[in-house]
Structure 1
Amino acid sequence: MKLKIVALISIMLPACAMEGHEESKKTNKETIMDQHSYAKPAESVVTHLKWDAVVDFENKKIDGVATLHLKNSDDAKEVILDTKALNIEKVLVGKKEVKFTLGEADKNLGSALTIPIKSSTDSVTIYYSTSEGAEALQWLTPMQTAGKKHPFLFTQSQAILARSWVPIQDSPGIRFTYEADVKVPSELLALMSAENPQEKNDKGEYHFVMDRPIPAYLLALSVGDLEFEPIGDRSGVYAEPSVIDAAAYEFEDLEEMISAAESLYGPYQWGRYDLLVLPPSFPFGGMENPKLTFATPTILAGDKSLTSLVAHELAHSWSGNLVTNATWNDFWLNEGFTVYFENRIMEKMYGRDFSEMEASLAYQGLVAEIDDMKNNGSGDDTKLKLDLSNRNPDDGVTSIAYDKGYLFLRSQEEKVGREKFDAFVKDYFTSNAFSVMTTEEFIDLLDKNLYQKNGLIMDTAKINEWIYKPGLPTDAPKPTSDKFAKVDEQMSRFLTETEASDLDVEGWSSQEWLHFVRSIPANLTKDQMKALDDAFGFTKSGNSEVLTEWLVQSIRHNYEASFDELIHFLVNTGRRKFLMPLYQEMVNSECCASMATSIYATARPNYHFVSTNSLDELLNYNK
């Protein structure tokens, strides 16, 4: 019998977690429920992690010692941690070994590790090792890397996978500082979401400090044959030696981007901002690990055309990392704000035309996904505030949180004016720094600090429609682009017998090409597909966004000339954003359903759990 276990999470930030920093002005005395953690922080909460680890590539495991510093209630009798498939060897309270309880394993939540304590207990220490199936860990063979010489390891902790490599209170509502000592093979470099080395040492021993409080999902580790290239005084890029030059070129505007972000919503509060370009199996475009964004190599287009992803991860340094969703039901607060902030950064750097093209593409994708979700019975998940009870919180990682959240915030900007809304957002990040936020608390702040402060009346019914009702309100902002209208003209010309080579496409951006490929009609013939491919080289595009859309169209139109590239792309790319639509299109097609299973069997070992967890279900794959 699986028990539904709910944790009461105190949102008040422990004072000791802010050592070396100004105490957060935000003091929330209420408690909230996190359905994705066993922790009971109202009784005992983790404030600091000291982690000692040895990375064992031969056996694909981490041997670790986690010492957790605690803040306890007066009647505390136990501290409860989240674990998943960890091999717990022993537990110390102070210096004394104690008996612990490891609860029944839940598919999503893992097992509760319960340790007896007293109210005076200041720390517990867990000796453990990770298991072969640790879901956060991706162990790569040398052949799965760019250099083909050394193995590679990276973690992906979001949403609740930190518990598979560190015993911790794995809730976004609990923040702690950390320090770590990590031993790796001497030929490799270790990096974490912390202060990082910029070169290897002979011993393979590295010390890390994160002195700003973070939630567990922002714990991150990577180990590989890596080099560092500085970009500015506070920024740089890490990558494998064969990739480092391309990465440094792609991100050479990073300092300008940081400055643009600061000019909008206040100082960057994490010290350095570095990027790590990972091997292709990384499941996301980027992961906003503090001080060190993990990035997919699929953004290395060679022309800086996909750097909006960097703007997105940078924006997370404010929205998400600085002010964090209290639970995964409030995920839209992280991502909606981040997409809004990303859009504003891109507008500041490249102009309104550019940012509106990005917003328009996102709107197209959002409308399509809402329709799909309604048709497949998951219409309730088109609400901003979710109910992920008894579900994997990754179910909430859809364009709803990102793009519906963005449109909601944009609607507020348009209602009160940009100047007033910018003042509200800047104060939101400053006043709530290093703290967490619920949807309901945000609504109260919106009313008090935006509407009432400016002598306005908030339309509560409309706010509730946006947040608690499915779909999009009928008066939702609809981004449009004059440039896309011109793209549509060229597609119309092509469909009325104009040769592809005669179309007026000079100077098109990747956004315009993406819109063009998306607008290919369902009745286009194979000959017409070939004509477009011959003229514009879509099958060999170096832009992964455009290539993915073209491959979707190739499956849809049974354009077999692209299938070799489709196979190569799926075997060598682990980014879930690209994998899901391609496999879904194959599953839905008459021509390619069996091919999907065949490709997946070959490609699956190259994918991270975050991707296989979704694809196994889609393809009904039996391991």
Structure 2
Amino acid sequence: MSNPVSRGVVVPALASLALTGCAATQSASPLVSSPLASSRPLVSPILTSPEARDTSTYARPEEARVTHVALDLALNFEAKDVFGTATLDIMADDDADTVVLDSDGLRISAITDEQGNALPYTVGEHDEELGEPITVRMGAARRITVTYRAAPDAAALQWLDPEQTAGGEHPYLFSQGQAILNRTWIPTQDSPGIRQTWEARITAPKPLTVVMSGLSGSEPVEVDGDRRAFTFSMDKPVPPYLIALAAGDIAFRELGPRTGVWTEPVMLDRAAAELADTEAMVAAAEKLYGDYRWGRYDMIVLPPAFPYGGMENPVMTFLTPTFIAGDRSLTGLVAHELAHSWSGNLVTNSNWRDSWLNEGVTSYFEGRITEEIYGEQRARQEEALSFATVENVLAEAGANDPGTALHQPDDVESAGSEIVYDKGAAFLRTVEQIAGRERFDAWLRQWFDNHAFQPATSQMILADMQANLVAGDEELGRRLMLREWIFEPGLPANVKRPDPQAFAGVDGAAARYAATRQPDAAAWQGWNSAERLRFLSKLPDEMSAAQLAALDSAFGLSGSGNNEVLFAWLRTALSNRYEPAVPVAEAFLARVGRMKFVAPLFGVLMGEGEWGQPIARRIYAATYPSYHAVTRGAVDRAMKAGD
């Protein structure tokens, strides 16, 4: 058990549950208004200490909180519409008569109790960032049903026309809820610290198949002649941003006893080949930090409009097709999303100021899986690439910029995802080196075990490290510099730096190229993906058109099937106003919606003034409809910054 002081104040109505570490069972009557029924085996505690407070939700969970969501929804692809009911189980103080939900554009037609009696409710003023609160006067009711319709432009949902899919014959829908977008299609308390179990019945037109981030129920059932109903359940409390769905012309391929992949039929062979190591990855992760607790680990490779590399939705990781390189060189992405099954899904940041608890811990864990599966050299090289991104951010933002701290205060803007992901990973690698791997692994495993299915804060992990890792060893505590790592900007003096030999040969080749501007095609052919990315990151800032043409010809950069390599090349080429790269970039931006690639390329073009800005505006006008709202938002910011 962790130090109880680090948990903050527990809501009185939940005290008995919180102290059992989620082992208690919630007493609940069978579902009446929902088409499904399931037991409620776990109710997660909530944290109400000041540092655990989530400013991104309207909910008041210390008074009344959602513990279970039952969805009964229909997908209308013609109207690009989702509608139906959400039945919510509420846990509240005895004298609480209202519950506050999060919404963003939801069109509510009724809210009722278990007997179907109308409950009064109000919809608050809309905020551009947070949406609007729904305050329900529930009285003594502890189960309410919201009948509603999501807006056609719900930011979490992306509706694709057939021509935007690989197969080209059927429409497609997928959701992306992180961080607070699920309130655009689910009326619940949309906070990572308010974990909820859930179940769903989703109907879709034939022949489309629906998958969700929960275990599938029975075979789909025909309804209304031309539709089918699919059922799902998640009996473990999860943060609501992890409720996800996808629907389209998709097929399944088994990869191992508990792993498999869904994707469009024309993509299935390539996706399955790229993901062949997944079962071994699950076994490696379990060897490191304990049992995989979610049943199956399936993945879906989505159309390229998906805005992220991957999303760690339990049971069904969502993946971009851009990781498919043909040689499994980019499967660190899969290791990362799998690692989230422990860090992020099992133990979750209570609020987004502590998102390093999800992403930084996961990035460290990803490296350990990579080492187990692909060997120490690849792990050390990827560590070096990760560390270089931190150094670049610190060089740009300044080592004293408060946004470079892992824990982000309310009034501070993060210096970038590199801090959350890569500085977080560097922190744990440093702790591992100083404490020793065996001692560190025992600590991290007990962190996952003792906080399973619970929210956490930076203060909690600090207290846990002091109690269960330092464990009274004052000298070790001084050497670890834990508080400085978590709460102070920059990199502490004890930081573990990457192996300088990880890229010795590549760095030598980069230095020779900088001096001679003569590309070495033979060396390039012998390098792996990480080595190629390292070389491209070391290219001179200023290069002539002739030099870029020679580099492209020698290495085949514009035709690379590795999207990370192609992206790195395009950044260099466009920043040097290399005209032949423009049609390549235009084609790339038209087929890829991954924010990591799209927003920076538009940013580069906008930074090139009279040359690049017209190109950026022309391309964005054509590609805008194909991007998810998350990607559009990032591109909009890049375009404004370049004006």
Task: Please indicate the TM-score interval, normalised by the length of the shorter structure.
Answer: over 0.9
Change (3 A) 1:502 1:59: closer
After TM superposition, give the deviation of residue 455 of structure 1 in Å: 7.2
1:3 alignment partner in structure 2: none
> Residue 65 of structure 2 contacts residue 99 of structure 2 at CA under 8 Å; is this kept in 1?
yes
2:364 alignment partner in structure 1: 340
2:418 alignment partner in structure 1: 399
Residue 427 of structure 2 corresponds to residue 408 of structure 1 = yes
- Unaligned stretches of 5+ residues in structure 2: 1-8, 28-37
Query: How far apart, in 2, do the equivalents of 1:459 and 1:428 lie?
Result: 21
**SS class of match (1:471):** coil
> Residue 521 of structure 2 contacts residue 554 of structure 2 at CA under 8 Å; is this kept in 1?
no
Residue 387 of structure 2 corresponds to residue 367 of structure 1 = no
Match of 1:165 among 172, 185, 188: 185
Residue 74 of structure 2 corresponds to residue 54 of structure 1 = yes
Q: Which amino acid aligns with 1:109?
A: L
Q: Which amino acid aligns with 2:61?
A: P
Query: How far apart, in 2, do the equivalents of 1:593 and 1:409 lie?
Result: 41
Query: How far apart, in 1, do the equivalents of 2:351 and 2:379 lie?
Result: 30
2:350 alignment partner in structure 1: 326
1:384 alignment partner in structure 2: 406
> Residue 37 of structure 1 contacts residue 169 of structure 1 at CA under 8 Å; is this kept in 2?
yes
After TM superposition, give the deviation of residue 457 of structure 1 in Å: 4.6
Query: How far apart, in 2, do the equivalents of 1:211 and 1:161 lie?
Result: 22
Match of 2:465 among 446, 451, 454: 446
**SS class of match (2:84):** strand
Query: How far apart, in 2, do the equivalents of 1:311 and 1:264 lie?
Result: 13
Alignment of 1:101-500 (within 5 A): 101-118=122-139, 120-196=140-216, 203-374=227-398, 379-388=401-410, 398-452=417-471, 457-459=476-478, 462-497=481-516, 499-500=518-519
After TM superposition, give the deviation of residue 475 of structure 1 in Å: 3.3
**SS class of match (2:580):** helix
**SS class of match (2:70):** strand
Q: TM-score, structure 2 length as denominator?
A: 0.90
Match of 1:602 among 622, 627, 631: 622
Change (3 A) 1:164 1:621: farther
Q: Which amino acid aligns with 2:267?
A: V
Query: How far apart, in 1, do the equivalents of 2:288 and 2:138 lie?
Result: 46
Change (3 A) 1:367 1:23: same
**SS class of match (1:80):** strand
Q: Which amino acid aligns with 1:438?
A: T
Change (3 A) 1:404 1:501: closer
2:637 alignment partner in structure 1: 617
Change (3 A) 1:487 1:90: same
For residues 567-596 of structure 1, give each alpha carbon's deviation from its aligned partner in whole angstroms, at most 9, with x where no partner exists: 011111111111122112112124312211
Change (3 A) 1:489 1:407: same
For residues 344-385 of structure 1, give each alpha carbon's deviation from its aligned partner in whole angstroms, at most 9, with x where no partner exists: 00011111111111111111122212333349xx93221111
Change (3 A) 1:198 1:503: farther
Query: How far apart, in 1, do the equivalents of 2:181 and 2:43 lie?
Result: 27
Change (3 A) 1:205 1:525: same
> Residue 524 of structure 2 contacts residue 555 of structure 2 at CA under 8 Å; is this kept in 1?
no
For residues 284-331 of structure 1, give each alpha carbon's deviation from its aligned partner in whole angstroms, at most 9, with x where no partner exists: 000000000000000011111100000000000000000000111111
Change (3 A) 1:69 1:389: farther
Query: How far apart, in 1, do the equivalents of 2:164 and 2:434 lie?
Result: 50
After TM superposition, give the deviation of residue 121 of structure 1 in Å: 2.0
Query: How far apart, in 1, do the equivalents of 2:450 and 2:211 lie?
Result: 31
**SS class of match (1:302):** coil
After TM superposition, give the deviation of residue 617 of structure 1 in Å: 2.2
Moved more, 485-494 or 439-448: 485-494
**SS class of match (2:215):** coil
Percent of counterpart pairs with the same letter?
Answer: 40
Change (3 A) 1:498 1:564: closer
Change (3 A) 1:219 1:466: same
**SS class of match (2:279):** helix
After TM superposition, give the deviation of residue 29 of structure 1 in Å: 7.5
After TM superposition, give the deviation of residue 199 of structure 1 in Å: 7.9
Residue 86 of structure 2 corresponds to residue 66 of structure 1 = yes
Q: Which amino acid aligns with 1:473?
A: P
Change (3 A) 1:250 1:463: same
**SS class of match (2:155):** coil
**SS class of match (2:147):** strand
Query: How far apart, in 2, do the equivalents of 1:610 and 1:25 lie?
Result: 29
**SS class of match (1:96):** coil
Residue 96 of structure 2 corresponds to residue 76 of structure 1 = yes
1:5 alignment partner in structure 2: none
Query: How far apart, in 1, do the equivalents of 2:375 and 2:66 lie?
Result: 44
After TM superposition, give the deviation of residue 204 of structure 1 in Å: 1.7
Change (3 A) 1:83 1:16: farther
2:120 alignment partner in structure 1: 99
> Residue 81 of structure 2 contacts residue 149 of structure 2 at CA under 8 Å; is this kept in 1?
yes
Query: How far apart, in 1, do the equivalents of 2:284 and 2:305 lie?
Result: 31
2:4 alignment partner in structure 1: none
Note the aligned Cα RMSD (angstroms).
Answer: 2.5
Moved more, 590-599 or 290-299: 590-599
Change (3 A) 1:110 1:44: same
Q: Which amino acid aligns with 2:282?
A: I
Query: How far apart, in 2, do the equivalents of 1:534 and 1:380 lie?
Result: 44
- Unaligned stretches of 5+ residues in structure 1: 1-7
After TM superposition, give the deviation of residue 621 of structure 1 in Å: 9.9
Change (3 A) 1:131 1:260: same
Moved more, 395-404 or 97-106: 395-404
> Residue 421 of structure 1 contacts residue 450 of structure 1 at CA under 8 Å; is this kept in 2?
yes
Q: Which amino acid aligns with 2:624?
A: R
> Residue 435 of structure 2 contacts residue 476 of structure 2 at CA under 8 Å; is this kept in 1?
no
> Residue 17 of structure 1 contacts residue 213 of structure 1 at CA under 8 Å; is this kept in 2?
no
> Residue 44 of structure 2 contacts residue 454 of structure 2 at CA under 8 Å; is this kept in 1?
no
Match of 2:599 among 567, 573, 580: 580
Query: How far apart, in 1, do the equivalents of 2:288 and 2:595 lie?
Result: 31
Q: Which amino acid aligns with 2:396?
A: D
Query: How far apart, in 2, do the equivalents of 1:606 and 1:498 lie?
Result: 39
The alignment of Structure 1 onto Structure 2 pairs a total of residues equal to 609
Query: How far apart, in 1, do the equivalents of 2:416 and 2:118 lie?
Result: 41
Change (3 A) 1:117 1:280: same
> Residue 217 of structure 2 contacts residue 233 of structure 2 at CA under 8 Å; is this kept in 1?
no
Query: How far apart, in 2, do the equivalents of 1:441 and 1:483 lie?
Result: 35
Residue 542 of structure 2 corresponds to residue 518 of structure 1 = no
Q: TM-score, structure 1 length as denominator?
A: 0.93
2:3 alignment partner in structure 1: none
> Residue 337 of structure 1 contacts residue 405 of structure 1 at CA under 8 Å; is this kept in 2?
yes
Moved more, 522-531 or 216-225: 522-531
2:34 alignment partner in structure 1: none
Query: How far apart, in 1, do the equivalents of 2:316 and 2:397 lie?
Result: 34
